[in-house]
Structure 1
Amino acid sequence: MDTKDLAKIDLNLLISLQVLLEERNVSRAAERLFITQPAMSKTLSRLRSVFDDQLFTRSSHGMQPTPRALELAGPLAEILSGISQLVSRQAFDPAEVETEVTLALSEYIGVALLPTLVPRLQAQAPRLHLRVVTRVENQREQLALGNLDFAIHFRQQHYGPEFRIADLGGSPPVLLLREDHPLSGRDISIAALAEYPVIRLYVSDREQLDAQTGEDLFEYLGGGARGSLEISHLMTAMEVLRSSDYIMPGPAFLLQNESISQGITARTVPGSADMSADYVLVAHQRTENSPLHNWLWEQITCTIRELRPTQPRKLRQRVAAGAAEHR
């Protein structure tokens, strides 16, 4: 786009030309624009200079537009209408949305959230393209750069004023293992846990989780003294748990999804009373005036609020059942 000629144009001149085309009278045009008649005459003179044409000529029936003015009338009305729509806040209708939004979250959070959130979004915004990414480091930076629209992750130690945060709740970690695991028939201690290999599920910005819980859970459980598996695929990790003696620290809400947790039980991590993992929804201030992003923010937080009441009782029952197996 050549901006040199555009820089010479005062938008007010184009508005004045539109009013002159509608009124074909300098006095009435001046009244509509709340300026004096001499000022309107001066504006017309500037318009003639810009377009190198008389634009209007006097006749016994008033001002008559020249062929050049009539030629400008159609495009001018369209341009001004487009500018008006550009600067005005339109009513937001999710059904009309046809764009892509990127959400970063770990797979184990997605398993709990997306089966409820996605149908909700599809019903209201059927042409919305939701892109979910699970492996993203430095998420605050990616939000600021515009590579992410939202992130759901462990609460980090510091967020600048440019970030919008919503607390989503949290819970202490539990130990996931198969229902007939050798540990199910004995007291669990850190020493006992060190006898079994550990699955370390990928978590973006893991140091933030360690900062919350006070230490690296992987190392706390013995560091996989008898072997370990680091993996980013939750479904595969759960299959490994079902078919081996591996153990895996993780959030208790994974047990809420019975289709993936079948055959898996949970035990309280020894000494984990002071450990907690708190989750937040994060967005950058660049989206704070976006009706779409504000609507999506509300859909995500509402979905989590609706899911949360169903979790504690069910999860306590399944964790308690796992703890009772060794009694």
Structure 2
Amino acid sequence: MDLSKFDLNLLKCLMVLLQEKNTSKAAERLGVSQPAVSRSLAKIRTHFDDPLFVKQARGLGLTDRAVELAEQLPDVLAKLESCLAGQEFEPSQLTGKLRLAINNYLSESHGFAICQAVLSEAPNIELELHNYSPSTQIQLVRQTIDAAISFYPLEVSKEIRQTKITSTPVGAFCQLNHPIQGQVFTADDLLRYPIAGLILSEFNEQGMQIEKLLKPGQHLKPKFRSQQLSTILDYTASSDALCIAPRSSYTTQMQTRFRFVELSHQDKGIDMPVVLLYHNSQHRTKKYQWLTQVISSLFQDV
């Protein structure tokens, strides 16, 4: 291929096509018409001397050459973007949408702070905060979501990087007059009181992580789990339940309804890492270095 005759703008179109495998969906993401994408694809095929895509019952299949490009192109474009940005990076010059997916606990405690911090430094972007869901990992791979925040460990694609931004102690919310005395409870208490907890996508859907602390032969039987935090808190406030949660979620507003007691195991506290997830190709870009710094600073005191 003669690079001097190649329009580099076609690479963006190609990357989106490789991710979506559908010209209509690619057109929607690029903000152009479907015929415009088809014309770009015709030029791309000519330059690469390869069909790249073949029609299938659902969408488009990739040729061997297209599979290679799908692996290499995101990193190439990220390096090109970083190179063109030069040495100076100004968040205030960022435009377009920034989409972040956050799990419910962290969204409740830090969602507004993230909104304030990001928009104060990048006032010209359109910020969207989404719930962390089963589709988030696919969106990160396709880069239709810019980044996500959740607890570690998560089983994710090798295309996704997990960067630790903080750790937060694990404990429980309980009503102000709960029978547990003091500020600490143990794994044995998990079998003495009703247990409640939030269901977080790709983290604890199959069971609660704290069950690993129980002795052999002991089994945790949560009384109530939900994807809606407000419902769990109402249940906890009206019972002797322990709502398993990170300390980072114990906001000032909650202190009028609940106590927070920390979980102790073998005379030690239990910490839960918080991670920022994004596509590997963005690791060295100034935009993502800035985003990591902004979000990390908000979690320094959890």
State whether TM-score is above 0.5.
Answer: yes
Work out whether residues 172 and 242 of structure 2, in 8 Å CA contact, stay in contact via their aligned partners in 1.
yes
**1:230 aligned to 2:225?**
yes
Matches within 5 A, 1:201-220: 201-207=198-204, 215=212
Who is 1:199 aligned against?
A: 196
- The correspondence for 1:247, drawn from 236, 242, 245, is 242
The Cα of 1:146 is off from its aligned counterpart by: 1.4
Give the letter for the 1:267 counterpart.
V
Matches within 5 A, 1:229-308: 229-255=224-250, 257-269=251-263, 271=265, 273=268, 275-288=270-283, 290-305=285-300, 308=301
Give the letter for the 2:297 counterpart.
C
The Cα of 1:138 is off from its aligned counterpart by: 6.4
Q: Deviations over 1:33-72 (max 9, x none)?
A: xxxxxxxxxxxxxxxxxxxxxxxxxxxxxxxxxxxxxxxx
Q: Give the distance between the partners of 2:136 and 2:3, measured in 1 at CA.
A: 43
The Cα of 1:290 is off from its aligned counterpart by: 4.5
Q: Give the distance between the partners of 1:103 and 1:200, measured in 2 at CA.
A: 23
Who is 2:121 aligned against?
A: 124
Give the letter for the 1:118 counterpart.
C
Who is 1:108 aligned against?
A: 105
**1:166 aligned to 2:160?**
no
Q: Deviations over 1:167-188 (max 9, x none)?
A: 2232442122101124449x96
Q: Give the distance between the partners of 1:192 and 1:201, measured in 2 at CA.
A: 19
Give the letter for the 1:149 counterpart.
D
**1:89 aligned to 2:81?**
no
**Please, which runs of 5 or more residues in structure 1 have no aligned partner?**
1-6, 13-84, 312-327
Alignment: residue pair count:
223
**1:149 aligned to 2:143?**
no
Compare CA radii of gyration and give the structure with the larger one: 1
Q: Give the distance between the partners of 2:241 and 2:203, measured in 1 at CA.
A: 21
Work out whether residues 153 and 279 of structure 1, in 8 Å CA contact, stay in contact via their aligned partners in 2.
yes
Work out whether residues 132 and 148 of structure 2, in 8 Å CA contact, stay in contact via their aligned partners in 1.
no
Q: Give the distance between the partners of 1:220 and 1:262, measured in 2 at CA.
A: 34
Q: Judging by fraction of residues, say which structure has more helix.
A: 1
Q: Deviations over 1:255-283 (max 9, x none)?
A: 2x111342211223363637442222121
Report the more deviating stretch, 274-283 or 143-152.
274-283
Work out whether residues 160 and 280 of structure 2, in 8 Å CA contact, stay in contact via their aligned partners in 1.
yes
SS of 1:206's equivalent in the other structure is: coil
Q: Give the distance between the partners of 1:267 and 1:11, measured in 2 at CA.
A: 62
Overall identity of the aligned pairs, in %: 18
Q: 1:244 to 1:214 in 2, by over 3 A?
A: closer
Q: Deviations over 1:221-249 (max 9, x none)?
A: 7313xxx2222222332233223333211
Matches within 5 A, 1:16-165: 88-89=84-85, 92-137=89-134, 139-156=136-153, 162-165=159-162
Give the letter for the 2:221 counterpart.
G
Q: Give the distance between the partners of 2:140 and 2:243, measured in 1 at CA.
A: 30
Q: 1:157 to 1:198 in 2, by over 3 A?
A: closer
TM-score, with normalisation over the residues of structure 2? 0.59
Work out whether residues 178 and 241 of structure 1, in 8 Å CA contact, stay in contact via their aligned partners in 2.
yes
Give the letter for the 1:98 counterpart.
T
Who is 1:59 aligned against?
A: none
Q: Judging by fraction of residues, say which structure has more strand.
A: 2
Work out whether residues 199 and 248 of structure 1, in 8 Å CA contact, stay in contact via their aligned partners in 2.
yes
Q: 1:126 to 1:148 in 2, by over 3 A?
A: same
SS of 2:221's equivalent in the other structure is: coil
SS of 2:240's equivalent in the other structure is: coil
SS of 1:223's equivalent in the other structure is: coil
Q: Answer 1 or 2: higher relative contact order, Cα 8 Å, separation at least 6.
A: 2
Who is 2:176 aligned against?
A: 179
Who is 1:314 aligned against?
A: none
